Amino acid sequence: MNHLGAFYTNNFRNALIEYGYNKTEVDEKVQQAWEDLFGNQSPDKKIYFDVEPDMGYMLDTGNNDVRTEGMSYGMMMAVQMNKKDVFNRLWKWTKTYMYMEYGDNAGYFAWSCRTDGEKNAYGPAPDGEEYFALALFFASHRWGDGQVPFNYSEQARDLLHMCIHKGENNDGYPMWNRDNKLIKFIPNVEFSDPSYHLPHFYELFALWANEIDRPFWKDAANASREYIAKSAHPITGLSPEYAFYNGSPNHIRGFGHFFSDSYRVACNIALDYEWFRDNACPTVVNEKIQAFFSDKDPDDYRRYKIDGTPFEEKSLHPVGLIAANAMASLSTHGENSKKCVDMFWNTPLRTGERRYYDNCLYLFSLLALSGNFKIYKPTER
């Protein structure tokens, strides 16, 4: 283990300044992106909406619904930006409308709701739960716990316990396979989504979850680093949206190729490397991804087989892909790394119907590359 990651040093790399951008301009760009997405001055960019008197939601503008993915992302963005009011509004909406109290999925959150709060589905998506948990821990450490439902750390610990122990009493399914420690695509299937794997989150869960669960999360971090490496193509670095536990693409419903979900793999490797610098972090995957896209025109980004063969189908989220490839530069160096950062810097937030996913990845990348995607520890209040 190389103990030079930001978890150990509390120094978060500002890659934008390293690549020659002005600190004042970087800080302004971060603040402006937040205002564009969460404020009321840029209706063609915003994805957060207040619901009076004390709730709010993140809108998937392409599907006109509210998803646990977006709500948990919004909460992470809010705690990173020190916006407690927005964080609490998002969490209260989530607990009020998305939480499931009955059935096999009791204790989880419905992955999709209408904007009025009515559930579109009664199943969860585990990428939401894992982001909820870490955002809640960070909120607890940054602001302190409050009254239910703002007893952040307790909410996080209970959720994580549910994610790995559910089903022990024949009451549903866990979100992680308890044998191989790999996250599932959804609880009642036995395959994964490489972009769900967040070993850097699990390292923190291994410190802050219920004591009985901590060894599981440490094992999950190690298992996920291995899985990310073996699910990526050995030449291109591209990962499928769905993959079996052995890392091979799962082509059910055509999701065994590189498409929108897959973009996040580069982000996850980058942040894992920035935070922990574990020797098993597969940074070579990000080097290969950046090399693959080095000669591609963003206006012609496609859906790809993981070997790099393009489909006719264009990328649904080209700005998100630009952002993810730039965030990869936290774990890479050299010409391709700088090229990806420069392309991102010169790319504006997306406007229009499909802006939600792109702009989520955009703000995460901007926070990470500017040294503002930070770890908040229990002692830092």
**257-295 pLDDT, tens digit each:** 999 999 999 999 999 999 999 999 999 999 999 999 999
pLDDT category, 3, cuts 50, 70, 90? low
Residue 117, pLDDT above cutoff 80:
yes
d(CA 25, CA 28): 5
Report, as an integer, the average pLDDT of 95-114.
97
Nearest CA to 210 among 148, 154, 132, 166?
154
**318-374 pLDDT, tens digit each:** 999 999 999 999 999 999 999 999 999 999 999 999 999 999 999 999 999 999 999
| Burial classification of residue 42, based on how many CB atoms lie within 10 Å of its CB (0-12 exposed, 13-18 middle, 19 or more buried) | middle
| Cβ atoms 309, 238 nearer than 8 A | no
Instruction: For each of the domains in the chain, give its residue range(s) and CATH number, in order of start.
Output: 1-46+209-381 (1.50.10.10), 49-175 (1.50.10.10)
Please list the residues that pair with 26 across neighbouring strands.
Answer: none
Dihedral in degrees, nearest 10, Cα atoms 151, 46, 257, 121: 50
- Round the average pLDDT of the chain to a whole number and report it: 97
Q: Which amino acid is at 181?
A: K
pLDDT category, 379, cuts 50, 70, 90? confident
* Confidence (pLDDT) at 374: 98
Nearest CA to 134 among 225, 234, 201?
201
Q: Which amino acid is at 204?
A: L
Nearest CA to 255 among 276, 268, 241?
241
Which run of H or of E encompasses 58? Answer: strand 55-58
The one-character DSSP state at 243 is B
* Angle of the 23-38 helix axis to the 68-80 helix axis, nearest 10: 140
Residue 304, pLDDT above cutoff 80:
yes
**171-221 pLDDT, tens digit each:** 999 999 999 999 999 999 999 999 999 999 999 999 999 999 999 999 999
pLDDT category, 1, cuts 50, 70, 90? very low
Report, as an integer, the average pLDDT of 107-114.
98
| Cβ atoms 290, 270 nearer than 8 A | no
Q: Within 10 A of 117 (CB to CB), how many other CB atoms are there?
A: 14
Measuring CA to CA, how many Å separate 130 from each of 68, 161, 173, 251, 323? Answer: 10, 11, 16, 25, 21
Pull the structure tokens for residue 194.
Answer: 């490489």
Q: Is 69 a catalytic residue?
A: yes
pLDDT category, 380, cuts 50, 70, 90? low
Nearest CA to 259 among 186, 350, 321?
321
* Confidence (pLDDT) at 232: 98
**316-334 pLDDT, tens digit each:** 999 999 999 999 999 999 9
Report, as an integer, the average pLDDT of 49-73.
98
* Confidence (pLDDT) at 381: 53
Instruction: Kindly name the residue from 60, 261, 274, 358 that is annotated as catalytic.
Output: 261
d(CA 111, CA 89): 18
Q: Is 130 a catalytic residue?
A: no
Instruction: Kindly name the residue from 69, 127, 130, 287 that is annotated as catalytic.
Output: 69
Nearest CA to 155 among 172, 135, 176?
135
| Cβ atoms 77, 362 nearer than 8 A | no
**11-54 pLDDT, tens digit each:** 999 999 999 999 999 999 999 999 999 999 999 999 999 999 99
Query: For the chain, percent helix, then strand, then coil, each to nearest 5?
Result: 50, 10, 40
Report, as an integer, the average pLDDT of 79-101.
98
